[in-house]
Amino acid sequence: MKKSVIFLLVLALAGGETLLAQGHAGPFSSKPLAGSGTLRAQGHVGSFSGEPEAGGETLLAQGHAGPFSSKPLAGSGTLRAQEHVGPFSGEPEAGSIRTVCDTVAGWQIRHFAECRHKEMSWTNGALYLGMFEWADRTESERIFSFLKGIGKKNRWALPLRAYHADDICAGQTLIKLYKKYKDPAMLQNTLERAFYVASHPSTAPLSKQDKVGKNTRWSWCDALFMAPPVYAALYTLTGEQVFADYLEAEFHEATDSLYDREAHLYYRDCMRIPKREKNGAKQFWGRGDGWVFAGIPQVLENLPADYPGRAYYEQIFREMAGAVLAAQDRQGHWHASLLDPDSYPDPENSASAFFCYGLGWGLRTGLLKGNEYEKALLRGWAALVEAVHPDGLLGYIQPVGADPRPAGPDSTDVYGVGAFLLAGSEMLRLYGN
């Protein structure tokens, strides 16, 4: 059976109108899903509003240091009560890795109700991906139940902005859940959304300075984590070339616009290209490049092994890996500004966790070879584990933003936890035996 036929069957099973066969004018179906109610954008629970915003990481509230309430032990803000060295071992062995990751995941689940982000937002999309990977490694039904509960509560639907890369991020985990449980309801909304966008691509300029393109194109480097893995996964799942064509066009243009081929790092967006740090270095934001360095492995994981465009992504990943190693300090940390760590002396652990994940994935798959990569990974992991509080709060996570900012020992956020669990999943794969 051809994959294109499989694609049509998936849509039919989902109860949605067949987009290819019936001039479907929008990305959502108004037909009910069997046994799961009706997926309607206007009835969507837990989505963003449809109002445009700057795109990518934006400061949702001035002065907001984290997504949690000000209750004690909730991990809110940058409390800076005291410097913290955690009680967990950073040794690369299964028991230590499982203990710290289970504790971090447990803390986040217990405190999830305090999170101010919308449940299907990009911030939580990164968390869910890390949660899924950790649950998949450890067969944690508690985490799988948590993820299914979130999806069911939100009717497996994404936020409203069809073209915005942030608003399809949670689709990565919905696809993984569909592949595990074979429930078409888990896939329908993501599939229809992605197909509509890929078959009706935005023609606006890919630029943060364009009032339309800043939101409808992959005009900021964070977007290369948020959206590309979805299109890669759907191409492999359905065989429909439209998903691969869209992935290739957007990723290549974003890279041509934002990738510095001398530094082998991405600018956060076009407005950051002329900026310089206090030491005169170009501004490369730690988490911004972390998004890309973690996003490329997710793209490659979701593409077929014989996909003709793999070498392009592999080459960028290898180039970035050298720059990532050069930016690590002697203690194993990465900082908010990769080329000016003295201006941001504290670690930035969302970036650090994404870099550890990428290094671990590269070593496991053989894309990175050499002792220097493993040494950097082990130093980085040990440094990350030091920032975990006894109850499982992961500190030194920079708040939502778009450029380097400081973070303290009690500053946390869900995307940092997701990145940590991604890194822990690779550590367990590498050293769990």
- State pLDDT tens for residues 166-206: 999 999 999 999 999 999 999 999 999 999 999 999 999 99
pLDDT of 433 reads 75
Lowest mean pLDDT, pick from 78-87, 395-404, 408-417: 78-87
What's the whole-number mean pLDDT along residues 61-70?
Answer: 36
Pairwise CA distance, residues 398 & 66, whole Å: 8
Distance CA 146, CA 80 (A): 31
Over residues 126-150, mean pLDDT: 98
Residues 407 and 336 sit within 8 Å (Cβ to Cβ) = yes
pLDDT at position 418, please?
A: 98
pLDDT above 70: residue 280: yes
Which of 266, 286, 295 has the alpha carbon at shortest distance from 334? 286
**Mean pLDDT to the nearest integer, 108-131:** 97
Asked if pLDDT for residue 74 goes beyond 80, the answer is no
Residue 329 is among the residues annotated as catalytic for this protein: no
Looking at residue 52, its pLDDT comes to 33
Maximum distance among all alpha carbons in the chain? 62
CA angle 219, 222, 228 (to 5 degrees): 85
Q: Which domains does the chain have, with CATH numbers?
A: 3-48+66-431 (1.50.10.10)
Encoded tokens for 232: 């890669």
Q: What pLDDT score was predicted for residue 57?
A: 53
Of residues 60 and 255, the one with the higher pLDDT is 255
Under a CB-based contact definition with an 8 Å cutoff, are residues 68 and 179 in contact?
no
- Mean local confidence (pLDDT), 297-325: 98
How many Å apart are CA 36 and CA 184, to the nearest integer? 10
**pLDDT score of 86 more than 90:** no
Q: Give, in degrees to the nearest 5, the angle at Cα 204 between 309 and 156.
A: 70
Q: How far apart are CA 251 and CA 257, in angstroms?
A: 10
Tell me the whole-structure pTM to 2 decimals: 0.85
Please compute the mean of the pLDDT values over residues 23-43 and round it to a whole number.
33
Residue 271 has pLDDT above 70, yes or no: yes
Exactly one of 167, 222, 346, 403 is catalytic; which is it? 222
Strands (E) in 21-94, as ranges, are 32-33, 37-38
Q: Does residue 404 have a pLDDT over 80?
A: yes
Q: Dihedrals φ, ψ of 69, to 5°?
A: -70, 175
Residue 427 has pLDDT above 90, yes or no: yes
Q: How much is the pLDDT for 26?
A: 39
266: which residues sit within 8 A by CB, 6+ positions away? 221, 224, 255, 258, 259, 260, 284, 288, 289, 292
**Residue-wise DSSP of 188-247:** HHHHHHHHHHHHS---S-S-TTSTTHHHHS--BTTHHHHSHHHHHHHHHHH--HHHHHHH
Please list, residue by residue across 112-135, b when 16 or more beta carbons sit within 10 angstroms of its beta carbon and e when fewer do.
beebebbbbbbbbbbbbbbbbbbb
- pLDDT of residue 132 exceeding 90, the answer is yes
Give alpha helix (H) positions in 328-370: 349-365
pLDDT in tens, 373-394: 999 999 999 999 999 999 999 9
Residue that wins the pLDDT comparison between 235 and 56: 235
pLDDT at residue number 25:
34
For tokens 């940058």, what's the residue?
78
Tell me the pLDDT of the chain averaged across its residues: 86
Tell me: pLDDT of 84 over 90.
no
